[in-house]
């Protein structure tokens, strides 16, 4: 990949990471529920989910998902169901500062947070279709593709680590600012509604767009 091509993709990757979506909602929610330090591991999972998507595109699985109605539908509805589960869980969460709650501490274990973040991005066929549309524009077919996909994955991972840190920090600010049960209930239901909204948007995605 030529330096000029990489710089163009680097600029594009910031726009991709900053764009509001399931990842941004998940990062802010993790910060709001658990604070920055305990919530940030979710971002590691989000990056691993992106890398899973890039790998799927690189080895051709992404093309199968994009062209097979059955494969696309399976991945899409698994993603919708997972986002709905997250939304309902947030909506029904206790109206108290969860960072001090023992059950919440269990949910905020680093591995659990990583797996939760991975699932948000890995089962999103919209991301697969998007990568299939964008990534080929930056590939030089005369050069080894494996190295170029590594650069693409590393670039997307870097920008997401930075951007999602900001989203997590914003969520953590809410955790510090909102202490009353009514405020906690409001923020839980706000994030729950956002997850349900993202699930509804994902449910409308078709293979053609």
Read off the pLDDT of residues 25-49 as tens digits, 9 standing for 90 and up: 889 888 888 889 889 999 999 999 9
Kindly state the percentage of the chain with pLDDT values over 70.
Answer: 77
Count of beta carbons in the 10 Å neighbourhood of residue 170: 15
Count of beta carbons in the 10 Å neighbourhood of residue 107: 17
**pLDDT for the residue 100:** 45
pTM attached to this predicted model: 0.75
Kindly state the percentage of the chain with pLDDT values over 90.
Answer: 20
pLDDT class of 93 with cuts at 50, 70, 90: low
Say yes or no to pLDDT of 18 above 70.
Answer: yes
More confident residue, 175 or 81: 81
Q: What per-residue string of b and e applies to 133-163 under the rule 16 or more CB within 10 Å gives b?
A: eebeebeeeeeeeeebbebbbebbbebbeeb
User: 7-16, 48-57, 76-85: which range is least confident on average?
Assistant: 76-85
Average pLDDT value over all residues in the chain: 78
Q: What are the pLDDT digits (tens) for 109-168?
A: 889 899 999 998 887 777 777 777 777 777 777 788 888 889 999 999 999 999 999 999
Cα separation, 190 vs 111, in Å, equals 25
Three-class SS state of 154 = helix
CB 55 within 8 A of CB 129: no
More confident residue, 36 or 208: 36
Cα separation, 65 vs 44, in Å, equals 24
Please compute the mean of the pLDDT values over residues 53-57 and round it to a whole number. 87
Say yes or no to pLDDT of 65 above 80.
Answer: no
pLDDT class of 88 with cuts at 50, 70, 90: confident
Cα separation, 28 vs 23, in Å, equals 9
CB 157 within 8 A of CB 17: no
Cα separation, 209 vs 205, in Å, equals 7
CB 164 within 8 A of CB 53: no
pLDDT class of 178 with cuts at 50, 70, 90: low
pLDDT class of 51 with cuts at 50, 70, 90: very high
């Amino acid at each position: 990949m030529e330096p000029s091509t990489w710089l163009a993709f680097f600029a594009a990757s910031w726009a991709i990471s900053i764009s509001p979506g399931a990842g941004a909602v998940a990062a802010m929610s993790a910060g709001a529920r658990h604070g920055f330090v305990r919530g940030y591991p979710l971002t590691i999972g989000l990056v691993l989910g992106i890398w899973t998507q890039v790998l799927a595109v690189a080895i051709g699985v992404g093309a199968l998902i994009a062209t097979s109605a059955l494969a696309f539908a399976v991945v899409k509805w698994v993603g919708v169901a997972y986002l709905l589960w997250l939304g309902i869980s947030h909506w029904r969460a206790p109206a108290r500062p969860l960072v001090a709650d023992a059950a919440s501490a269990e949910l905020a274990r680093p591995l659990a947070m990583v797996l939760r973040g991975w699932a948000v991005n890995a089962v999103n066929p919209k991301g697969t279709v998007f990568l299939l549309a964008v990534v080929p524009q930056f590939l030089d077919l005369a050069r080894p593709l494996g190295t170029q996909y590594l650069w693409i994955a590393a670039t997307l991972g870097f920008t997401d680590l930075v951007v999602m840190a900001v989203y997590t920090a914003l969520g953590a600010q809410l955790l510090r600012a909102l202490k009353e049960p009514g405020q906690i209930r409001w923020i839980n239901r706000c994030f729950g509604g956002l997850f349900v909204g993202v699930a509804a948007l994902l449910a409308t995605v078709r293979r053609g767009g």
